[in-house]
Chain A
Amino acid sequence: MSQPTQQEEFLAEHSHPRPPGVSFEPEAKGLSQGQIVRKRFLGHSGAIAGLFIFVSIFLLAFTSVGWAGIPGWWKYDHLDVSPLVNDGVPTASLWLPAWGEHPFGQDRIGRDLFAMTMRGAQQSITIMILIGTIAGLLGTVIGGLSGYFRGWVEAVLMRITDVIIIIPVLLLAAVVAQSVNRRDQGGWFSGFAASNGILILGIFLGLVSWVGLARLMRGEFLTLREREFVDAARISGASNARIIFKHILPNAIGVLIVNVTLTMSAAILLETALSYLGVGVKSPDTSLGLLISQNQEAFSTRPWLFWFPGLFIVLICLSINFIGDGLRDAFDPRQKKFNAKKAKDTKPAGAPEKAPAAAADGSAGD
């Protein structure tokens, strides 16, 4: 349930007091904050690869089987049953690249796995974006308010956060799943939920995953509001709103973006896990987790039914994780790009051959 995320690691990095004497980088001369961040991000090859893979998967998933009523270019959709071709074995081949009739194969009753996987990837990405947006907004608002205003606002909001943080996500997901499945009751909510189950699931999961972000943003606001530039703004008569939006938020945006990304990568695993347990997306709609759970028994006879959905989960999640890592490096002012060649060249002449390991660990080269 609680697979550890990169967020913990992020917290670890921030739990240390900052080393004194952070020096300016020569590469940052004459550039704005945004330009520096963009330059660093584009220089992070892992993040660029992740971005490329994610955009490819996004385009493939949303154009192939169509979305929200818009038809796609692929001839089947996730419900179409067609006669088994070659007993459902995947027809795509890498050697002599060919696409074939059913590139990822078919399941027992002849549904096209490519269409099902694409549909599942759509669901995962939709839920991920929903959770990221809602959790990001709520977390910023609640964390920001409690960190900026302190006093009773903070006490109330943080106690609510404490309560929500210990309620198991599985329980909330089960409640949502149940209310989505009550199609007979005819209320506006169940009517809406029956046709948009995935949206409801995403919104509800977003409503419970903001707590970590709220705590983080509160911490950021607590430190930033004590800084001199905030005092200066207050003395010159700036309103609370102006201080928050013009002075504090731009400084906290790095932490926010990085952690929203990491929340999103955890969200994908959460959705697939819930669907696997049977409390997330339900059939006849499909999702990557549900596909794996439906087909794990058939592993020995039809392994492709198991491989392709799993591969797409891993690819989406991995690319988001790499993007998050790139963003973290880009936003972290302490990070210095280490260049082994440069460090070797600048070694003072006559330095002992066996330099202490400090020279090799990159950041001590000052």
Chain B
Amino acid sequence: MVTYIVRRLITAALILLGASFLVYLLTASSGDPLEEFRASSAANKQQLMDSRSQLLDLDTPAPLRYFKWLGGAAKCLVPFGGSCDLGKNIAGQPITEALGFALVQTLTLVTGATVLAILIGIALGIITALRQYSALDYGVTFMAFLFFSLPIFWVAVLLKEYGAIGFNDFLRNPEIPLPAALGIGAIAGVIVAVAVGGAARRRLVSGGIVFLAASLILIYFSVVQWFRNPGLGPVVIAIAGVGLAFAVTVLVAGLKNRRALQSALIVVALGVVAYFAVQPLLNEATALMIVLLGIATIGVGVATGYLMGGYDRGQSMRAAGITAFLVGGLILMDRFMQAWPTYFNNSRVRGRPIATIGAGTPNIQGDFWVLSLDTFTHLILPTMALILVSLASYTRFTRSSMLEIMNMDYIRTARAKGLSERSVVMGHAFRNALIPIATIVAFDIGALIGGAVITETVFSVRGMGFLFLDGIMHTDPNPVMGVFVCVAVTAMVFNLIADLAYSALDPRVRIKA
């Protein structure tokens, strides 16, 4: 095992050396760094060219410059040495500094999108695998192919036009005309009727209920101008919480496990009480406090499950913990909604909250909630675009993996010994289907910090992709190398992790030492 890891790391280091040499030469030879001055008619043209030559050290040939750069980069390997030197970019800013800034921007942009895409994609994949060859399966498959084929820049422009500008116009006068409300309700009803499966009668009934509920809610929203002054309130939180408690229990424990259901419901009751208790505290919120409250919420849930006990304590703890986390999320959402009017009427936002470019409104003032909302409204469009294009691969991947597993002999065995469908799917099939998914997720996390060059360009986010593209445009190797080294190192480390994880999760696969 150790020899395997050491050998992999040494190979990776050699590959990195070779590739970085190539990248440096390619960048340096990709254009003329003095081009912008050659055609200029400025009086100090020669001086400008000289200073740029000196900054980029153009008098040294590119292969030698690479080794100079390597000398500086090697210092980064000394832990806590503080002498890391990746050179400077064309504006004279050290690359290490620029990278730090870009990394934060990129990670805020892609992390949420990737996590959501993975969760939604896996869920859809499982459902379609369980309903193979149903209308739902065909629908999702077609959508997946469509999303595979969408150019992200095209989606982004469409989202900007209809998601941001359209929605902002709608917010100016948030009234939903009756036909629109009925139409949206009908669409939701049809989707549900297709998705639930089962007999025609059951489909019709569930579709009808959803149609009525969705239309009524939309009409209600329109009447009270909910989109201007959104909020959930304790009643909605309680009702939604009970629904969540049942759903979570069905998934992790099954409704037959009464203790698990009771613990989940107790947690919901505690949540509604906590809703009133924490309001004054939340007014003084900071990011750290939210994280601590979140951990405390899960802790309370798990403790409740533990105290309730039952024949399978673990299931109660899991059900209550997950329910607690979700109810906590509802309370947080409600608090954000309370801050919405303040944000909406902020002098910088001026009633057009959904932003099309940038990572934040410049010079915005406000408390934690307003600032967080500002980040959200800027993230929402790029996140949607990224989810759309990456969702498909997770869905298809999970589906094919799940289908393979459902044909395995041990699934037949599990059924034959009389296990419930829930425990066959969740306990036997899903866990094994996750093995190949775990490796692909590890790859994707490794590729995360490479960022989404195109998404960053379309939404003018100054992240890693921007740094990289900017370096190429100015024929400046230093930022390109900085981004490349970061991306390559994480990708290689996560490749290694993926391989190790695979052999750890699947004992049939053994690593050759």
Contact = CB atoms under 8 A, between A and B. Distances in A.
B251 interface: no
Interface of chain B: mostly helix, strand, loop or mixed? helix
Given A1-B454, A2-B447, A318 B421 contact: no
Interface stretch (B215-223, B282-290, B464-472): B464-472
Interface string A1-17: 11111101100110111
B379 to A, nearest CB: 19
Contacts of B149: 265, 269, 313-314, 317-318, 321
B227 interface: no
Nearest to A320: B149
Give chain A's interface secondary structure class.
helix
Contacts of B30: 171, 174-175, 178-179
B122 interface: no
A58 B152 CA distance: 23
A319 to B, nearest CB: 9
A359 to B, nearest CB: 11
Given A17-B508, A299-B157, A356 B400 contact: no
Given A292-B153, A361-B130, A322 B145 contact: yes
B154 A310 contact: yes
A362 interface: yes
Interface stretch (A29-37, A84-92, A101-109, A273-281): A273-281
A19 B465 contact: no
Interface stretch (B19-27, B68-76, B173-181): B19-27
B450 A1 contact: yes
A363 B407 contact: yes
B148 A5 contact: yes
B114 to A, nearest CB: 11
B389 A3 contact: yes
Nearest to A316: B149
A310 B452 CA distance: 20
A163 interface: yes
A317 B392 CA distance: 14
A293 B401 contact: no
Interface residues of B, number: 71
Interface string B1-41: 00000000001001110110011001101110000000000
A357 interface: yes
Contacts of A170: 453, 468-469, 472
Interface of A: 1-6, 8-9, 12-13, 15-17, 19-20, 159, 162-163, 166-168, 170-172, 174-175, 178-179, 265, 269, 272-273, 276-277, 279, 289, 292-293, 296, 299-300, 306, 310, 313-314, 317-318, 321-322, 325, 338, 340, 356-358, 360-364
Q: Which 3 A-B pairs have the closest CB atoms?
A: A4-B393, A317-B149, A318-B149
Given A1-B454, A3-B152, 11 more contacts: A3-B389, A4-B394, A6-B148, A12-B437, A16-B404, A19-B408, A159-B11, A178-B30, A293-B153, A314-B146, A358-B415
Interface of B: 11, 14-16, 18-19, 22-23, 26-27, 29-31, 129-133, 145-146, 148-154, 157, 161, 389-390, 392-394, 396-397, 400-401, 403-409, 411-412, 415, 421, 436-437, 439-440, 444, 447, 450, 452-454, 457, 465, 468-469, 472, 480, 484, 487-488, 491-492, 508
9 contacts: A1-B454, A1-B465, A13-B401, A19-B409, A168-B484, A171-B472, A178-B30, A299-B161, A356-B421
